[in-house]
Chains A and B, each alone.
Chain A
Amino acid sequence: MQETEQAPEQAWRRLRNDQFSGLLLILFALYLYWENRAYPVGSLAEPGPGYMPLMLAIFLAAMGVLIIIFSGRSRLLEMKWVEAPHAVIVLIACGAAAFALERIGYRLTIIALLIFLLGVLERKRPLPVLIVSISFAMISFYVIGDLLVVPLPRSPWGF
């Protein structure tokens, strides 16, 4: 019983990087083919808007197969993801900043993002965090928004 449970896990571990990524590429090509059904393909002589995406889906699937075939020199799929938790937190923070940018304005968003990244994630001391966060937001807004006249979002309170 235990052996049968371990078998799929061992098979998974025997998979190589290129085999895995080639497989993902084929799945993406199939998804692309599925999405492309909405557009007329036309004919070889008179291609429609769906023609090129269809050709590219076939091309990507073919490349996926080739990557799998020539995956012999690739490393085993035992990748280290040590930086992944940190990367996920950074990404979530950036996503929250993107959500907030047009709602609370550039300066408040950037101050909040920097306080989170420096103070919470990197655990830096509060005073330098506040100085860096506020001065970065203010100076970058002044240079890009005021001096170079690039319109940056402001908060509902005009700040």
Chain B
Amino acid sequence: MVETFQDLYLGFSIALSPQVLVYAFVGCIIGTLVGMMPGLGPLAGISLLLPATFGLNPIIAIVLLSGVYYGAMYGGSTTSILMRIPGEAASVMTCIDGYAMTQNGRAGPALAIAAIGSFIAGSLGVVGLMLLAPTLAAFALRFGPPEYTALLLMGFFILAYMSAGSMPKTLSMAGLGLIFGMVGIDTMTGYTRFSFGVIELGDGIGIVPVAVGLFGISEILLVAGAAEPPKVQRPKLRELIPSREELRLSVGPIARGSLLGFLIGIIPGSAHIISSFVSYGIERRISKHPERFGSGAIEGVAGPESANNSAASGAFVPMMALGIPTSPITAVMIAAVMVHGISPGPLLIQQQPELFWGFVASMYVGNVVLLILNLPMVGLFVNLLRIPYAYLYPCILCFTILGGYSVANSIVDVWIMLGMGVIGYLLRKFGYDLAPIALGLVLAPMLELSVRQSLAMSAGTYAIFVNRPIAAIMLGIGVLIVVLSLKPLISKRKDWRASVGLESEQS
């Protein structure tokens, strides 16, 4: 414990240096703006900013990008509450009661509770990251290729079980992502696969063009022709203070949302989205007056907003400790640090303590910055929402082309991005979740290599996956999850998704 605080002291000595503070501040502002803009979620924002971090040192790069991440989480709630337009998917649940509060003349307290809940949840999430990541990393040093294979397979099954859509659909999207990840030179044999004579594809398909195409361009294709957004309210600073009753009602949802969000954040998938749905479902279920939900219940804002911010911190645990991304956002962030020759994983915390602890401390700082920044400046930020979408989306498109090109100075990446935009558009029309594609793409080389290394270790015997206890337990959990997901199909009982309202949007 003492060691942890010494490490944290080291982290704060880095995070509070003027240069890092400035970048944390800039990241939070960009993130807030990105989160507010429909069509530009945290993933697209981080992807577009990625080339700009190549010239920075790795600590500053990750501080800037993580600032964008949790800034976008804050920003997304503003549009949800004031306009009923979720700036990013995790804020969908906030729309329901947040916008109802706006209609009731309580926009200010809704924004304040969202910001306070996000701050508390974000800070508690960082404490969890700080305590859990080093322990998990130390444990992961025992992992060999069979354990990594089992871990990745278990992760895919958990992802499919926890995702918003049906399990076969999610698994098929993960499979599609894995296929995209197979493009390029096979590291064990030197064969170039599925490159169709395009030399640039020999290096494989990058995460940035895929992420920007799937999430950014597809969104623009879906909504670009839509009608102009409604007029936006501009709350004044004095209207932001919640009443004592609103504060009292928010304490429980913030605490539950923080814990729930962090736990879901560690699990693979679109954790920040799922956590907000689950938190809303739980709050509605345990409320003494569930009929208030939908017509302006503050708990419906406090719970989901805390959960999605806490999930953002939780997602960093497997990324930092195991080097395994559990969401497309952490996948892009891994790409960002790998550009600097650093591989996140069990050895990172030992070999680069200043990076890990600097990052942890910067998250505390970022949360404070966001609280200070967002509440007084909310009136200023909402001016962005006055820009007609007809002007906004062409500029976002230009940013995506710029971001897609500048990652590797390759026009092929721009074509891949546009292709992914079309694929994302069609898949969304058919009700498929896109996050597993991005995850599959990143995890494909790791999975293929670990399977083949495991078989090389065991002279071709598959028993290696069950003979080693850690691998066997993880595979066992994976099988259990598959069985659990089959249960509602056999017994015709309701799936967990139905109970939290995730299945309402059936394709």
Contact = CB atoms under 8 A, between A and B. Distances in A.
Interface in A9-38: 17-18, 20-21, 25, 28, 32, 35
Interface in A88-109: 90-91, 94-95, 97-98, 101-102, 106
Interface stretch (B220-228, B263-271, B334-342, B472-480): B220-228
B391 A21 contact: no
B225 A87 contact: yes
A98 B414 CA distance: 6
Most chain B CB within a 10 A radius of its CB, from A46, A63, A122, A151: A63
A150 B455 CA distance: 43
A45 B455 contact: yes
Contacts of B394: 113-114, 117-118, 122
State the main secondary structure of chain A at its contact with B: helix
A49 B193 contact: yes
Contacts of B507: 17-18, 21, 74-75
State the main secondary structure of chain B at its contact with A: helix
A90 B220 contact: yes
B398 A136 contact: yes
Given A17-B507, A39-B193, A74-B506, A94 B168 contact: no
A124 B175 contact: no
Given A44-B460, A117-B397, A140-B398, A87 B193 contact: no
Contacts of A50: 193
B381 interface: no
Contacts of A98: 401, 411, 414-415, 418
B172 A67 contact: yes
B68 to A, nearest CB: 15
A150 B179 contact: no
Given A56-B182, A63-B169, 15 more contacts: A39-B193, A43-B460, A46-B460, A48-B189, A49-B191, A67-B168, A87-B224, A98-B401, A98-B411, A101-B411, A102-B411, A117-B394, A117-B397, A118-B391, A128-B391
5 contacts: A106-B402, A122-B394, A136-B395, A136-B398, A150-B52
Interface residues of A, number: 65
Interface in A112-159: 113-114, 117-118, 122, 124, 128, 132, 136-137, 140, 144, 148-153
A44 B462 CA distance: 9
A114 B252 CA distance: 49
Given A49-B189, A67-B172, A83-B225, A150 B406 contact: yes
B206 to A, nearest CB: 15
Given A74-B507, A91-B422, A117-B397, A83 B226 contact: yes
Interface of A: 17-18, 20-21, 25, 28, 32, 35, 39-40, 43-50, 52-53, 56, 59-60, 63-64, 66-67, 70, 73-75, 79, 82-83, 85-87, 90-91, 94-95, 97-98, 101-102, 106, 110, 113-114, 117-118, 122, 124, 128, 132, 136-137, 140, 144, 148-153
Contacts of A113: 394, 397-398, 401
Interface extent on B, as a size class?
35 or more
A43 B455 CA distance: 11
Interface in B176-195: 176, 178-179, 182, 186, 188-189, 191, 193-194
A148 B172 CA distance: 39
B236 interface: no
Contacts of A46: 455, 460
B172 A64 contact: yes
A148 B455 contact: no
A151 B452 CA distance: 39
Contact of B224 (A63, A70, A79, A86): A86
A114 B179 CA distance: 35
Most chain A CB within a 10 A radius of its CB, from B55, B169, B415, B460: B169
